[in-house]
Amino acid sequence: MTAQVHEVLAFDIDSKCRLPVGLADLKVTDASHFGVDVSVNIGEATTQETDGFRLICCSPSWFAGYASTEPGWRALADPDTPPEPSAVVLGAGLWFMRQWDASLFLAELDRVCSDASGGPTWGSVASRISRWVPWEFDYRYDADLDAGRTR
C-alpha cells in the first residue's frame, strides 16, 4: 500500500485571513519568522479517497514568541483543547523550519508518506504517517486494534 499526498491547504497563522489556500498560493508574512497551519489530504496512490492530517509548521523563533505571549498556546498542540494555559503541552504534529520553503516542506511530507508506505492496510500506513502528522481517524484505528479488528 503506497501513501500519496493529494492536497495541501494552509494559512499563515499571523495573517488576518484564516481561509486556507493551496500551498503554492500561500504567502507567509515573514519567511524566517512564521507559523503555518497545514491540512493535508493523503490517500492511497491508486485512489482519490483521502483522509485528513493536520500539523503546524513554524520557525523556532515564531514558536518561542507565540508560546511565551499567547494565552491559548496549547491550541498549537491540540486544536480541540480549550485555550487555557497549561504547564505541560504535548507537541504532536509540530514541525520546525528555520526558513519557510514550500518545496522543502512538500519534499519532507512526501518522504514521510514514502517511509510509511508498504503496510498491509491503509490503517497501518496512515497510523505510521500519524507519528509525524496527526491523522483524523487515529483514535478509530487504535480502537479497532484494541478490539482485535484490522482493516
CA distance 69 to 71: 6
The reported pLDDT for the residue numbered 142 is 66
Per-residue pLDDT tens digits for 17-61: 888 999 999 999 999 999 999 999 999 999 999 999 999 999 999
* Residue extents of the structural domains in the chain: 3-146
pLDDT value for 115:
97
CB 43 within 8 A of CB 28: no
Beta strand extents in 45-137 (DSSP E only): 51-58, 94-96
CA geometry: angle 72, 74, 78, nearest 5 deg: 125
What is the model's pLDDT at position 14?
A: 87
For residue 76, give the C-alpha cell. Answer: 498549537
Task: State the average pLDDT over residues 10-16.
Answer: 89
DSSP assignment of 10-64 equals EEETTSS----EEGGG---S-TTS-EEEEEEEEEETT-S--EEEEEEEE-HHHHH
Q: Phi-psi bin for 85: left (phi > 0), alpha (psi -120 to 50), beta?
A: beta
Rounded to the nearest angstrom, the gap between the alpha carbon of residue 4 and the centroid of all alpha carbons in its chain is: 15
In angstroms, the CA 77 to CA 37 distance is 11
pTM of the model: 0.83
Give pLDDT tens digits for 100-138: 999 999 999 999 999 999 999 998 899 999 999 999 988
